[in-house]
Each structure stands twice: as structure tokens, then as C-alpha cells.
Structure 1
């Protein structure tokens, strides 16, 4: 049974983990850039805004890029106070101008102390810009601690808007942390297929947790990869543990298969 499921999912990974997947997915947004910091910033933003129709998500991300003069990192580092006024018009669902301005403030603070956003996810928590050498990811299976530390760091600036906290999830909230895990997949996974970026190397693909939304959850249950009744952080861990049986070094590659099967299901394709 396991061998049959693995072979089925491997075939679906090969089908969807290819450049044709990019155009209609939010990952197309960071693919507009070559500079590492631009990829990180817009990758994080695209993942954060990823709810609703993908066409709308992509459109809103491109609007945000335009508001930052087509150069997110340069705008964040070098903007003056009057430049922020144009961003007061930006909104996507419940994400509004207050959230936008705080994201910019956080990114500016972080990149004044660190070269890469990867440092924000590595313990110890880099509060107050205290960069420490040889930072490593949390032990395998304990990635929840890394996400908790990131959220604490993200909201460490004085007078952060409390409303913005709903846009950055954490395991302690019993969230699957789908958007954060998706962003980490984009940044960390390394292969030659051209979809994920693989620009981070201190977090390993083996450490990642599979992004889990309602569509992936439904497909995974059909394939008997999930037995837990709830859909929460522990469910994401359960799914990832099963996927590690198929590929211990790169379990999250199967996100392509599960997500792709969810798309096929919406098209009426049975499996």
C-alpha cells in the first residue's frame, strides 16, 4: 500500500514540480526578481496574502510591487516618510494599510542587521539585531519552536499593531501555519526543477513541514496519510511524518502532488 501511494505521489510531483506550474501560482511573484532580498520580501508577502483566488492574489502582489517602485528591497531600505503615503491605499481582504506599513517597518529593521530573512527563522531569536554565528535550524520535528521564535521576533518592534498578528500564524494558536510553511518551502527546497528557489542553506529540506490547507488535508485523508480528526499543527506534523517515509530528505516535495491533486479534484478528476 505504502509503495503504491509513494509511486502515485512521485508521479504527481513530477507532473507539477516544473516551470509550467509557476505562472498561475503566487510563487510567480518572487520569480519576478533575481536579487535575494527581493525574492525573500515578495515571497513572504505573496505567501502571507495567499488566501482567496490565485488570480487576485497575484494581482494584489503586483500592485504592491508597483507601489514600491518595482524594487521592494531598495524601497524598504531607502524610503522616506512621505513615500509611505502611497501605500495607504493597499488592501487585500483583511490585510490593510496598517499591516502593510508594519511589514515595511519590520523588513527595514531586519535588513539593517541581517543580510537574509533566513536569520529571522533561526534560533536564538535575533531580538534587537543580536546576530550570532553558526545559527542552525531547530532539531528535526521541533520546527514549531522556530516558527514561534520567528513570530516573537516579527512582532518585537515597539508599538506593533496588534491587529497585524492575525496575519502571522504560530503552532501555539493550533494553526497549521500553512503560509509560513509554504514560504519556507519556496526558500529552502533545492532541486533542478525551477519552481522552488533553494536560496537558503542553514535550514534543510528535511526540517520542513508540509503546508496544510483544507484542500491538501482532504486529499491526504483520501490517501490515508492523515488519521487525526482535527486540522491543526499536530495534523501538519502527522502528514509530514508520513511523507518522510517516502522521502526522509525532502518530504515537502509532496506538497506539489497533494496540491495538484486538489486542483484536479476541483476539475472533477477522480483518484
Structure 2
């Protein structure tokens, strides 16, 4: 028996959008930070490192945040670029090294110095005339990488057409608030978010008939988001966490999603 997309998506959301299904996911690190000033920095780091094998992701995020002690915000306040380069000189995560990480952290420190917070910087690029946060992402990335800062692969460039999966993941964590996403950013409307699209969400988007594009780029992410927006206009990224459990957790088979849709 087939059911409507919304009915099935809501059923999946209600069943799997729970903290008990978070591990293994770098999102779990954000729950340790009650102060939004710490959480947004932890979220930026965790999302930037969210590529490769999940075990290595968790190890790398844990190492960086552990080095920053209890407050990433205070750690950055008391750090200059020379100190960051020295402190993380042994860091390595796939394509990224200590110089890339230091550039990301120093970029965040500079943004906070100019705007007061990462939230204020991102919110400054959001316009009521824009249907989504694409242009705000461009502004945010430009600010993080200004003055020659080069985080390398840690920050994707939306202007180059990347799906910016990790940046959109970071924004989901910071803007939405439910049983899983901790939220904390007040000035951005969740209806403007773009779905984080990796190979798993790309496959799901094609399964749902939201896109036929073969490449998981920004255009594909926009199409998939538009498909979800027709079902959940006020919160198009609502189903992202629950659906992607089927690609992340070893005990959940993504192919089991292929049946029962009224397409």
C-alpha cells in the first residue's frame, strides 16, 4: 500500500528524529555547549570536518575541541594566528592540515571581532527578498576567508557551484531547533535553509522524484530543497536528519526507503 510523500516522511521523522539515533554524527559534539558563542564555533568545526570515514571525523572533531578546552569562544579570544598554527601544527584530517585548520579558526575569530558573532555575520547577508540563504553563504564564506585566509577543503565555495553540504549541515544545526538540532541562531528563518546534499541525500532526492540531475551540486541541492519545500514550506530541511540515518548508520538500509512512495 502506497502513502503520500508527506505521510511517509512524517512517519520517518517521528520515528528517527531522536537523539538516540544521533551517534555516530559530529552533531553530537554540539550538545556539550550551552553558550551559543561556544556552540556556533563547535558547529563550524564539526561541520567543516564532516567528510571521510565517520570514525575519523569523530576523532578529528574530538581532538580539536579537546584542545580548545571548555570554551571554544574564549580559546579563540585568547589566540592569535601564530599560536593557532603552533597549537595545531600536527593536525591532519584527510586533505586538511594544521595550516588549513588554523586559517578556519583565525577566520572565525576575525568574523567574531567584526560582527560580534558568527550568527550576526551570517544574518547580515540574509535578505527578505531572497528565497533561500545561498547569497548569505557567499557573504559568510568571503568573510571567513578574507585577508588571505585559506582553510582549503574545510570550507566549500558556493560561488563555484558546490552543493556546500557541510555548510548547509552547519546551518541546519544552528538555525533549526527540535529533538535533534540544538539551534541557537535567532535571526535566520528556517524556511530559507537549503538541504545538505551528499551522495545519500542525492539518492533519496532522486528516489522521491525531486531531481534527475546526476551530479550532487548546488543546482541539485536547490531542486531537492524545492521538492521538500512543497511538502513542508515552513521547514524544508525538517526531514534531513531522519532520512540520512539510512546512509550513515550500519543498521539502517537506504534501499529500504525505495518502496511505498506515492510518486
Under a length normalisation based on structure 2, what TM-score does the superposition of the two structures give?
0.88
* Residue equivalent to 1:252: 237
1:92-111 superposed matches below 5 A: 92-111=93-112
Q: Structure 1 residues 26, 96: closer, same or farther in 2, change over 3 A?
A: same
* 2:132–2:191 CA contact under 8 A, matched in 1: no
- How large is the RMSD of aligned CA atoms in angstroms? 2.3
- Is contact 2:195-2:236 (8 Å) kept? yes
Gaps of 5+ in 2: 258-263
- Find the counterpart in structure 2 of residue 149 from structure 1: 139
Equivalent residues, number: 255
- Whether 2:209 is the aligned partner of 1:224: answer yes
SS in 2 for 1:252: coil
Shift of the alpha carbon at 1:145? 1.1
Conserved? CA contact 1:140–1:206, under 8 Å: no
| Higher relative contact order (CA closer than 8 Å, sequence separation 6+) | 2
Identify the residue that residue 8 of structure 1 maps to in structure 2.
8
Q: Distance in 1 between matches of 2:2 and 2:237?
A: 17
Which whole-Å CA distance do the structure 2 matches of 1:60 and 1:265 have between them? 21
Map 1:113-262; keep pairs closer than 5 Å. 113-124=114-125, 136-137=126-127, 139-157=129-147, 159-161=148-150, 164-191=151-178, 193=179, 195-262=180-247
**Residue 86 of structure 1: aligned partner:** 87
Give the CA deviation at 1:12.
1.1
Question: What is the correspondence of 1:31-42 to structure 2 with a 5 Å cutoff?
Answer: 31-42=31-42
Could you say which residue in structure 1 is the equivalent of 2:59?
A: 59
Report the TM-score when normalising by structure 1: 0.85
Q: CA deviation at 1:140?
A: 4.2
- Change in Cα spacing, 1:140 to 1:20, as seen in structure 2 (3 Å) is farther
Cα–Cα, structure 1 residues 78 and 238, in superposed 2: closer, same or farther, change >3 Å? same
1 CA distance for matches of 2:177 and 2:252?
A: 30
Q: Alpha-carbon deviations, 1:68-88, whole Å to 9, x = none?
A: 234311111013655752311
Q: Distance in 1 between matches of 2:84 and 2:99?
A: 15
Separation (CA, whole Å) in 2 of partners of 1:190 and 1:2:
31
Deviations 1:78-110 (A, max 9, x none): 136557523111111111111121122112212
